[in-house]
Amino acid sequence: MQPSDGKARTKSEKTRLRILDAAAKTFRDKGYSATRLADIAAAAGTQAGSLYYHFDSKEQLLDEVLQRGHGRVAETVRMRIGALGPAASFRDRLRAAILAHLEINLRHDDYAAANIHLHNQIPAAIRRRHIAKHRTYAAYWQELLAEAQAAGEIGQDVDISMARLNLFGMMNWSIEWYRPGRLDIGELADNMCRTLFDGIGSPSPGGMAET
């Protein structure tokens, strides 16, 4: 179950998934407009005209890539947190969520990464639904952070919305620079979690704290 979802039955279904995989990868790498159907076809080992047996349009191809990608990220993050059990600290939950988000986007899945990478290139016709999904996902993290604050693990004066945006920034920017192999994703997740909670300042600072 690396790309697509593997459980293809008929030959037609298999081809369809191969095309989707190729589309996800190509969209992710080149962007929506810069991707030609011929690029997707080549990556899938077929011809541009043949895509139309499986899909109605380039836009529909993108739509399905984005939907699948989003679904997997959201599911995986919820699952991983659920697996921790009710006794886990919120810091541990956050760490697990960050790790899941990063693993999916950086290793597994062009579908997921396309959601972030094409964030601002989605054609108007399908943008509304995808923005709604992103909002739902953001709200999930917002709730997680709010609970952590209520439990006393995050400072009472912290603006939770800003904290979420800063965290998303760290995580989502990593798909711009991360290349597999050099750095372990687990270390990356730990680092982001530690930075978010503890900061990078020296334990005994010389200056002031805040306003």
Partner DNA sequence: GTCTATATAGAGATAGAC
Partner DNA sequence: GTCTATCTCTATATAGAC
User: What's the min distance (Å) between Cβ of 19 and DNA?
Assistant: 8
- Residue closer to DNA (CB basis): 47 or 161: 47
Q: Rounded to whole angstroms, how far apart are CA atoms 63 and 8? A: 20
Nearest to 152 by CA among 91, 99, 97: 91
Q: Residues near 187 by Cβ (< 8 Å), separated by ≥ 6?
A: none
Q: End-to-end CA distance of the chain: give it in Å, rounded.
A: 50
Q: Of these partners, its own copies, DNA, none, which one is at the site of residue 154 (CB under 5 to 8 Å by kind)?
A: its own copies
Contacts to its own copies by CB under 8 A: 30-34, 89, 91-92, 117, 119-121, 152-156, 158-159, 162-163, 165-166, 168-174, 176-177, 188, 190-192, 194-203, 205-207, 209-211
Q: Of these partners, DNA, its own copies, none, which one is at the site of residue 83 (CB under 5 to 8 Å by kind)?
A: none
Contacts to DNA by CB under 7 A: 10-12, 15, 35-38, 46-50, 52-54, 56-59
Neighbours of 47 (CB within 10 A): 11
Helices 160-177 and 124-150 pack at an angle, to 10 degrees, of 120
Q: Of these partners, DNA, its own copies, none, which one is at the site of residue 11 (CB under 5 to 8 Å by kind)?
A: DNA
Q: Of these partners, DNA, its own copies, none, which one is at the site of residue 12 (CB under 5 to 8 Å by kind)?
A: DNA
Q: Rounded to whole angstroms, how far apart are CA atoms 139 and 135? A: 6
